[in-house]
Structures are given as C-alpha cells and as structure tokens.
Amino acid sequence: MADDLLTQLKGMTTVVADTGDIEAIRRFQPTDATTNPSLILQAAQQEGRRARLGEIARQATDIDDALDAVAVDIGSEISALVPGYVSTEVSARLSFDTQASLDRAHSLIERYQRQGVDPARVLIKLAATWEGIRAAQVLEREGIHTNLTLMFNFDQARACADAGATLVSPFVGRILDWHKAQDPQADFEGDRDPGVQSVRRIYEHFKGHGYDTVVMGASFRNRGEITALAGCDRLTISPALLGELAERQEPLERRLSPLDAETRTPEPQNEADFRWALNEDPMATEKLAEGIRKFMADQRQLETLLGELRKG
C-alpha cells in the first residue's frame, strides 16, 4: 500500500504549516511555519494564551509594540518546533510605505534576536506591492530574508525575483475564488484551476531563468490544488488540509520539476511597467486590495483585544 499523501508530498516538496496553532505543528511536523495577522488573531484568542497575552500587552509601550511582541512571542514558540523558517508579517497598514516597512522589519528581527532565535531562520513577510518589494530588496541586501505574500499575478512574482526575495507566496485558492465568482458554472478542477496555473507559470519561469527565489504555493481551498502542485519548492498548508493528506493513501505523482536554467535572465521591470501590469489584471488588483483590507480587519480585532488586556 502507498504511503499517505502527506508523507509522499514531503518526499518531493518542503511542507510548511500555515497556522499559529502549536498543537497542529506538533502533530504534522512541518519543516517551516508561516503566520499572518489572521492566524495570529486565531492563536491569540486561544484560552490558554490569555495570561501570556495580558502580560505582553501590559509591558508594551503602545499597541504597535504589543502587536509585534505577540507575533514574535508566538513565532519564537513555533521556532522551537520546526527546523526551518518561521514567517512573521509586517503590519498590512504599512503595505504602501517602504521606509516604515523597513523600520518594522528591523524591529521584528531585533525582537527575535532577544528571544534567542537566529535571524537567519526568520522570513519577514511583506505584501507584494511595489513598496513592499522595494523594502524586500533592501532587507535582502542586509542579509534579512523575506517572504513576499498576497501574490496573485505573474508580474508581482517577477518583480520579487528581480529584487532578490528569498521566497514568494503565490495564492492559489483566492485566485480560484475570484474566477468562480466570475463564472460559477465553469469547470476549474485539477489542471484547469487558475490558481494552480498561476503557480506553475511562476515556478517554470523562475527555474527556467535561474532565479534563486523559492516558490511556495499558498492559500489552498482543496486537496486537489495541493496534489496538482506536488514538486513545487514549498507548499504552505492549513492544518485541516494537512489532516486530509495524512488520512489518504494513494499514489502521488510529481507534477513540477526544475528545468535547466537559461544563461540570461529577463530585464527587470520598472515601476511603471509593474503598476501597468497590475492595472491590466482585474483579479490581481482586486484580490491584492482585498487581502490587505482583510489582514487589517483582523489586525484591528487583535489591537482591540490587546488594548483591553492592557487595561487589565
């Protein structure tokens, strides 16, 4: 009998847990873990964390200080359970401010150092806006690793690779959501899934042109999207879907493999080209804006919670 799908997937792709749930990380033993404002909010609402959150909130100088302290506290706990990277996100409020993103990234790295976590194991997550990508370029030159998120568009991915980002997180499920809303009767199963197609195009471009930037598919809606991308550098997967993969025993075919690199990489984009390409892609434009708004909505809930705890 074949191994379960999760075991087979780990043999061809680095599996990353898309969660702040410590128990889920212990159960599935991923190599890396990613968090975002929504996942930090979920983790912060767990009853067992209330006392620790209250302590952090009362020691903080302000809400921004408390937010970063909570994110790093949870990230540090996760780092003890995974051998690889832990991703921690810069506030979505700073998605269009390069300098503020840099300042916040430096603060997060300093906090991790004080917690005894090697900065080389931290990925600073930034929205793949033009400003976020420019911040990533500076950070990478400083030796700080970055993960560019909220990626819905090939031109976003190209710009990130040109900037030297360590890793990009193209979203699969949210792309599918948009196309389903536009055409509810269409068949988007398997290779017809537009999110799967997007990740494959990015992966093949990066491998075909010798980019070092890692491709990590994210935001999955179903098991089929994951198996259709088996062989991708990394896949970040929710605990629910990790559980599904662990429970199914059937053969898993590798679907993505590196290509021989060409000798010349394409010319990098300038800002005008980047913004025009995004403007011409209504799906990417809408989902990027929506993603930033959703992360901020969850961050505001966390700010409210921490504000209440600061008051005691």
pLDDT digits (tens, 9 = 90+) for 110-163: 999 999 999 999 999 999 999 999 999 999 999 999 999 999 999 999 999 999
Amino acid at 148: L
CATH number of residue 64's parent domain:
3.20.20.70
Q: How far apart are CA 207 and CA 209, in angstroms?
A: 5
Q: How far apart are CA 91 and CA 125, in angstroms?
A: 9
Residue-averaged pLDDT of the chain: 94
Angle between helices 63-79 and 98-114 (to 10 degrees): 50
Amino acid at 27: R
pLDDT at 169: 98
pLDDT over threshold 60, residue 1: no
Domain containing residue 29 = 5-311
pLDDT at 40: 86
The model's pLDDT over 220-256, given as tens digits with 9 standing for 90+, comes to 999 999 999 999 999 999 999 999 999 999 999 999 9
Residues annotated as catalytic (active site), given as ranges: 125
* Sign, Cα dihedral of 304, 307, 309, 312: negative
* Residue 234, SS3 per DSSP: strand
Total domains present in the chain: 1
**Dihedrals φ, ψ of 295, to 5°?**
-60, -40
